[in-house]
Structure 1
Amino acid sequence: MPLIQSNMSTYSSNFLLVPIPEFPVLDCSPNKTIKIVVLGGSGVGKTALVVRFLTKRFIGDYESNTGALYSRKFNLDGEQISLQVQDTPFVSLQDDNDSICCQEQINRSIYWADGFVFAFSITDYSSSRVIQPLYQHIRKIHPSGNIPIIVIGNKGDLLRARQVSTKEGIQLASELSGMYFEVSARENYEGVYDAFHQLCQEVSRAIRNSNGEKRRGLHFVRPKSPNMQDLKRRFKQVLSSKVKSATSL
């Protein structure tokens, strides 16, 4: 399976980032709503990937991840889609290294989602070891049917600190029947966009081929969703802390 190269730079600047409403919006039918969850270990850059995709911005420092749920509308292959992206707290391996420890919030997110982003850091080999057990955990929750997934190796700008090779990333994704993207949320927006866009296309095809089967996630408890003002507040906090650090020097 080849490494996907970044070749898409077109992105609408007219995007909407809003809290998820308690009930589905009227202008988007269930079959035009795509729900994605981003999963992975600690410190791999899950939130950075989500924010980079939704806003084009990179923020290096974040508050503790509370599992934010984001929503935006965009055109997918000429059709308007409502996209919901669920960020999640980190997943860790248990002592036997063959199973994972998941918070209940993550299990609810897995049940709710249509597609999955598995993220690890190429600078942390242990973060890549979380992916296989995590995939098996998802298979237990969804024992049948197609599961659209992609695997993202983040922090591609830190090649000197690499612990996971591109070949190992491709092999990992192949074992999960998914596509592999090696990206840098810090330096390359297009690569992050390509990865999420590919997954959205796969989820859209899976929904069209579901033959009207009942969509999952009817009982998902939606977490509190930050809006654009919250993202701006976090961005200002980071800038302010960096200015203070520079001043103290």
Structure 2
Amino acid sequence: MNTTEKLYLPVDGILEMFNSLTGGHHQTRITHPVLQKSAALTPVPQHPKVSDISKAGMGIIKTVKGRWRQQDKRGVPSRSSSSGNRQVSTDPLPKRSVDLLELGVTKPRNCHRIVVLGAPKVGKTNILQRFLGRDFEEQYEATTEDFHRKLFHIGGESYQIDLLDAASERNFPAKRRLSILTGDTFLLVFSLDDRESFNEVCELLDEIKAAKAKLLKSKHPARVPAVICGNKADLEAPRAVTRSEVTEILGEDVAFFETSAKDGAGLDATFRALATSGGLPDETSPSRHEIVPILTYQSLCLGQRGRRGSRPLGAPCAAMDPLARRPSFTSDLRLVLRSGSKHNKPERCQIQ
């Protein structure tokens, strides 16, 4: 499709609507410019001047736009997005992203960021989908960058877990280093049938230790809370990496799990290990809580004017923030500088 077609095709429906409103008995008809080429040998009637139809055309356009806005307000998908035909949820949405720390309803120690790293096509996205309470997706789509925020209400306290899938940052060292410096816990994923993906995880683990040590001005590699995940355990193909090799190379104290994002094997233990590494409750594991709508979660945690609600405590629950976006790089840099200044005098952050 050429540039002209991309520019004019969206108005085909409006032109057809205009033709139908004119009654169809007039010989004058608005035709798509590209379609005129195919009818070059057929005599084409004279078009009216633009000034004669501008008012009617603009009225039709306003009507169509109004219908689109009404559908968007009701949560009905009015147009397919550029990424596919994903439908818009009909659940009511909050007016803005929910940040529990900014709202003053949780403590800084209850806000946690998990950074997911690994080679392409090892199943990182599907493991994250499982953590978010969603189903496995068979079709593979390369991840550019995904940021999710899951909010928990456990034992009368609120928790906020941000999940960053930094898959696209493997070719951007400075950006990847910033993600590493802002991470509290790390989930490193490789495929059991791909030796190169395991080698990349080993390199990533060394990079994380070195970056954290430099931030803390330590002469030795820092001990970081990381969970290693050998995915695709459901495949019948021969293993390229064995458990004994992982233990020998990474050490016996490493948290390593063989998992399958497809059938869920080993994932519950992986999520519990992530919670333990980050000092979070075990109830953050998907099997230990109930998923509720975001507005229900807000009513549970917040009363009027942003104060804590007075509802009685119930079973652990969680909600997804549908408007969550990754914080700006400026915000991340400030976060890194603050964390570094806890142990040392503030100085310019070196992410290169």
* Shared fold (TM-score, shorter chain, > 0.5): yes
Which of 254, 258, 261 lines up with 1:185 in the alignment? 261
Per the alignment, residue 199 of structure 1 pairs with: 274
1:148 aligns with 2:225: yes
What amino acid maps onto 2:225 in structure 1? P
What displacement does 1:55 show?
A: 1.7
Match of 2:148 in 1: 70
**What aligned pairs does 1:167-182 form with structure 2 within 5 A after superposition?**
167-174=244-251, 177-182=253-258
TM-score by length of 1: 0.64
2:135 corresponds in structure 1 to: 57
**Cα displacement string for residues 121-149 of structure 1 (whole angstroms, at most 9, x for unaligned residues):** 00101100112211121122111454101
Query: Could you tell which deviates more after superposition, 73-82 or 118-127?
Result: 73-82
* 1:104 is aligned to 2:145: no
**Equivalent position of 1:127 in the other structure:** 197
Tell me the SS of whatever aligns to 1:204: coil
User: Would the alpha carbon gap of residues 127 and 74 (structure 1) be closer, same or farther in structure 2, given more than 3 Å must change?
Assistant: same
SS in 2 for 1:220: helix
SS of alignment partner, residue 130 of structure 1 = helix
What secondary structure sits across from 1:151 in the alignment?
strand
Contact 2:146 2:164 survives alignment (8 Å): yes
Aligned partner of 1:34 in structure 2 is: 112
Alpha-carbon distance in 1 for matches of 2:184, 2:233? 27
TM-score, length-scaled by structure 2: 0.46
TM superposition shift of 1:52: 1.3
Counterparts of 1:180 and 1:81 in 2: how far apart (Å)? 25
AA partner of residue 156 (structure 1): A
Q: Which residue of 2 aligns with 1:213?
A: none
Question: d(CA) in 2 for partners of 1:157 and 1:124?
Answer: 14
CA shift for structure 1 position 42: 1.4
Quote the offset at 1:28 in angstroms.
2.1
Q: Do the aligned partners of 1:151 and 1:180 also contact (CA within 8 Å) in 2?
A: yes
2: CA distance, partners of 1:62 / 1:21: 31
Q: Residues 68, 204 of structure 1: CA spacing in aligned structure 2 closer, same or farther, 3 A cutoff? A: same
Ranges in structure 1 where 5+ consecutive residues have no aligned partner = 1-15, 93-100, 206-216, 222-249
Larger RCO of the pair (alpha carbons < 8 Å, separation 6+): 1
SS of aligned partner of 1:156? coil
Letter in 2 for 1:179: A
- Distance in 1 (CA, whole Å) between partners of 2:248 and 2:227 is 12
Distance change (3 Å), C-alpha of 1:172 and 1:79: farther
Is the CA contact (8 Å cut-off) linking 1:121 and 1:127 kept in structure 2?
A: yes
Identity %: 27
> What letter matches 2:269 in structure 1?
D
Superposition RMSD on alpha carbons, in Å?
Answer: 3.0
In 1, Cα distance between equivalents of 2:246 and 2:121: 18
Aligned equivalents of 1:85, 1:150: Cα separation in 2: 14
Q: Aligned with 1:159: secondary structure?
A: coil
Deviation at 1:155, TM superposition (A): 0.3
Local SS of the residue matching 1:133: helix
Residue aligning to 1:214: none
Cα drift, residue 21 of structure 1: 4.8
SS of the residue 1:105 aligns to: helix
Aligned to 1:219: 331
Query: Cα gap change, 1:19/1:67 in structure 2, threshold over 3 Å: closer, same or farther?
Result: farther
Residues 167-190 of structure 1: CA deviation (Å, up to 9, x unaligned): 223334426x421110000111x6
Structure 1 distance, partners of 2:112, 2:239, is 33
Q: Is 2:151–2:161's contact at 8 Å kept on the other side of the alignment?
A: yes
Structure 1 residue 61 displacement after superposition: 2.4
Cα distance in structure 2, aligned partners of 1:220 and 1:146: 21
Change in 2 beyond 3 A, CA 1:218/1:79: farther
Q: SS state of the match for residue 27, structure 1?
A: coil
Q: Larger radius of gyration, structure 1 or 2?
A: 2
Letter aligned with residue 185 of structure 2: G
Matched, 1:81 2:151: no
Contact 2:101 2:111 in 1 (8 A): no
Alpha-carbon distance, 1:87 to partner = 0.6
Q: Could you tell me which residue of structure 1 aligns to residue 291 of structure 2?
A: none
Query: Any stretches of 5+ residues in structure 2 without a counterpart?
Result: 1-92, 281-328, 334-352
Judging by fraction of residues, say which structure has more strand. 1
